[in-house]
Structure 1
Amino acid sequence: MTGKPSRRQLFGYAGAAAAGAAVTAAAAVALDDGQAAPPSASRTISPYGAHQAGVAAASPKFGELVAFRLLTETDKAALGRLLRLWSADVVALSNGRGAPGDVAPELAVGNAGFTATVGFGGRVFELAGPRPGGFDELPGMRHDRLQKEWTGGDLLVQVGADDAVSVVHAVRQFVRDARPFAAPVWRQSGFWNGTGADGQPVTGRNLFGQVDGTGNPRVGTPEFDATVWDADGGTTLVVRRIRMNLETWDELTRSEQERAVGRKLSTGAPLTGVNEHDELDLEARDADGRPLIAANAHARLSHHSENDGRRIFRKGLNYVHDAGTARESGLIFLSYQADVAGQFLPLLARLDAVDALNEWTTTIGSAVFAIPPGFRPGGWIGEKLIG
């Protein structure tokens, strides 16, 4: 991984609880390549640990993200009270119990793969101290068409579970607890299928039909740790709401779709391979001398070998948003990395410049959050920062 660029370089790229008792259920969730655990596995995920559990956990079947704006009167002490409340909520809901003050505790469902992740936007650090070294806002990109209702935020809560009711119920609780301190500014919900027809984990597909997330570093490996975690056990999260033009995408032939991506739609294998996880052969050419994986193919442009070894850990939720008879479809793209400017921004700038998929996608929302480390029994999220 290359060193973090200066702030001048950063903007240059744009031009090119107190918590409850300890968990007694086993935390036996499979964590590999961001894929779902088999249905037979325990789906109780411990809320405790060096890292917030939702980062490395599989993309949930159902998820919702809520960004908040801190109220004017919320100071550092008040923020600490909110984070203690939210930490208690995380512990209870992860274990299928009603949270403190829960008005509908029967809706808390156990063994549902529940996680809740809390993040901090830039304003938190105006109250609480210096920003983490890897946290930076993103400059606007040439193809961005950002809408205020999906952009920015001072705080984030990201909830995921196998059960949609659990997600809706948990979000109600987090929003209710936040009312004296912060107000929602946007909410995004979506879904993901990380389980194949045989019940085994699969990478999952976006609404273009693409297998999405094949190149991720494998959870639990040194490569994953170097990609995602900072020195304190936190990370950063970039949230990008990407509108997908399914109508014009569907007008393409299958070979045209595969050439834009650089992978086979059937299996997710690179156009130069057979199986999903085969390595891309970026030197391979067809009979006419053209690269089999086109110069502007998404798979080539995002590959770590084309980006000075930079990697991210990407996850996502498909979404549909209905307004009357009109339907918008797309992807809530989630990128975790230790360093936004050093890892994500150069990749984003490269894709923004020439990615073939730009013809069928438009980013309409964007936000960046620092994800603080996890917490232990008796502690709370953000304790080291807020104190």
Structure 2
Amino acid sequence: MPDSPSARLSLSRRRLLTGSAAVLGAAGIGAAAATAATRSEATAPTVPFFGPHQAGITTPPQAHAHYIALDLRPGAGADEAVALLKLWTTDGARLTAGTSALADTEPELAQAPARLTMTVGFGPTFFDRVGQSGRRPPSVRQLPHFQIDRLEERWTGGDLLLRVASDDPVTAAHAVRVLLKNVRTLATIRWTQRGFRNAVGTHAPGQTMRNLMGNLDGTVNPTPGADVDGVVWADGSGQQWFAGGTTMVVRRIAMLLDTWDELDPDARDLTMGRRQDSGAPLTGTLEHDVPDFTRTRDGIPIIPANSHIARAHARTPAERFLRQAYNYDDPPPAGTTTNAGLIFVTYQRDIDTQFLPVQRRLAQADALNTWTRPIGSAVFAIPPGVHDGQFLGQGLFE
């Protein structure tokens, strides 16, 4: 009875087990995008996977993001790394286009990508593991220790970075599961951080997010287009394979919300140098007004010199970078009431010249340090984007 349900099921299983390689060759990565393009953009908006830069960096931030650091398994090297990157490229292209990954056991969960993006990065140790130490971008190394750091090993370092983000938490969770289970023989998870921003539709597009302290977070960012391009993307000087890539800093910052709650509105505003309700600098009326750090009242600076914005603002054009923050709110340890904070991420051409000068000022004398603690830190090189037929990071291995 060749047409019986059991016979068809048996045949389906044999095809899955023996035909995956043929399916990969026949389907092609580009076919996935073509299939998803027939869907309504109103119900399943997509972000292009292929291009000169990886998606998820200058993409308007989605509501949900997963940051996952992995380590290559002991004994793994360049061959295993290439195999992993090829798998992620194939599955990432399909998932972000709204098509299920190969051998996806829950293909229904891939049908509404909701601006799903996948971004891959290489930690400083990755270059050593794959025999490419001499091709590591110079600023991609462990950050120096700052006096405010209380770093925990469980939130620090990593050979590889996988960032998955979507406006739909179900879509993001499914993509993470698929991408991780397909490489579990090649790498192990070092840490996972899940973050969130305001839900889609709760605020006007482009509105600055609020962190869990109640403050607008990310007011001062380069504007999309040429301004961002000049700040974020590497030109390949000395490392041609890295042209079109960028460097990423991930800092996990715990917020001491119980003691922050004790501050009155004026104390909060002076700590930040901005009004909590509007985000306006204390010398202005609107969020994006340029702060005047020289303005005084009765001889006293209106914006305190140790306020957060006074320490964080770029004092030269070379200190600008792209900020991208997500809130986290995890189950608190026993005996405590909160375990919340910020996954603070920056993108820049060069960490040494852009990020570090600002971070050093913050560590030295930022009034906000009383209520925040950096507990995690990692640095990654984000390779450039790919075109159909290539794999992420391919230039590093050529």
TM-score (norm: length of structure 2): 0.85
Q: 1:98 aligns with which of 79, 100, 107?
A: 100
* Residue 315 (structure 1) aligns with: 324
CA contact (8 A) 1:313 1:337 kept: yes
Counting only pairs closer than 5 Å after superposition, residues 1-387 of structure 1 correspond to structure 2 as 20-21=29-30, 23-24=33-34, 43-126=45-128, 127-129=130-132, 130-193=135-198, 197=202, 199-221=204-226, 223-231=227-235, 232-286=243-297, 288-305=298-315, 307=316, 309-323=318-332, 326=336, 327-387=338-398
**Match for 1:304: what amino acid?**
A
- Separation in 2 of the partners of 1:198 and 1:277? 17
Shift of 1:225: 1.2
- Separation in 2 of the partners of 1:358 and 1:350? 11
- Separation in 1 of the partners of 2:109 and 2:378? 30
**2:354 counterpart SS class:** helix
- Separation in 2 of the partners of 1:63 and 1:103? 22
CA contact (8 A) 1:238 1:369 kept: yes
- Separation in 2 of the partners of 1:196 and 1:258? 28
Structure 1's 194 and 105: CA in aligned 2 closer, same or farther, altered over 3 A? closer
Whose RCO is larger (CA < 8 A, sep 6+)? 1
**1:54 counterpart SS class:** coil
Structure 1's 194 and 289: CA in aligned 2 closer, same or farther, altered over 3 A? farther
- Separation in 2 of the partners of 1:247 and 1:196? 30
CA contact (8 A) 2:66 2:195 kept: yes
Structure 1's 43 and 75: CA in aligned 2 closer, same or farther, altered over 3 A? same
- Separation in 1 of the partners of 2:364 and 2:267? 20
Shift of 1:380: 1.2
Identity over the aligned pairs, expressed in percent? 42
Structure 1's 111 and 168: CA in aligned 2 closer, same or farther, altered over 3 A? closer
CA contact (8 A) 1:240 1:363 kept: yes
Shift of 1:168: 0.9
- Separation in 2 of the partners of 1:123 and 1:77? 16
- Separation in 2 of the partners of 1:168 and 1:341? 34
Question: Structure 1, residues 31-80: CA drift from partner, whole Å, max 9, x if none?
Answer: xxxxxxxx969731001110001111122211111100111121101110
Shift of 1:197: 4.4
Comparing 357-366 and 307-316, the one that deviates more: 307-316
CA contact (8 A) 2:167 2:200 kept: no
CA contact (8 A) 1:194 1:202 kept: no
Shift of 1:309: 4.1
Question: Structure 1, residues 258-278: CA drift from partner, whole Å, max 9, x if none?
Answer: 111111111111111111111
Counting matched residue pairs gives 356
Unaligned runs of 5+ in 1: 1-16, 27-38
Shift of 1:135: 2.0
Shift of 1:246: 0.7
- Separation in 2 of the partners of 1:371 and 1:357? 30
Shift of 1:283: 1.0
- Separation in 2 of the partners of 1:140 and 1:122? 16
**Match for 1:68: what amino acid?**
L
Unaligned runs of 5+ in 2: 1-23, 236-242
**1:240 counterpart SS class:** strand
Q: Which runs of 4 or more aligned residues in structure 1 lie more than 4 Å from their structure 2 counterparts after TM superposition?
A: 39-42, 194-198
TM-score (norm: length of structure 1): 0.87
Structure 1's 315 and 353: CA in aligned 2 closer, same or farther, altered over 3 A? same
* Residue 4 (structure 1) aligns with: none
Larger radius of gyration: 2
Question: Structure 1, residues 299-331: CA drift from partner, whole Å, max 9, x if none?
Answer: 1111113x5641110011100111466430100
**Superposition RMSD in Å:** 2.0
CA contact (8 A) 1:44 1:114 kept: yes
- Separation in 1 of the partners of 2:131 and 2:108? 36
Structure with greater helix percent: 2
Question: Structure 1, residues 104-160: CA drift from partner, whole Å, max 9, x if none?
Answer: 111113240101100001122111421024423201111100011101000010110
CA contact (8 A) 1:243 1:331 kept: yes
Shift of 1:190: 1.1
Question: Structure 1, residues 246-291: CA drift from partner, whole Å, max 9, x if none?
Answer: 11111101111111111111111111111111111111112x2111
CA contact (8 A) 1:120 1:154 kept: yes
- Separation in 2 of the partners of 1:276 and 1:220? 21
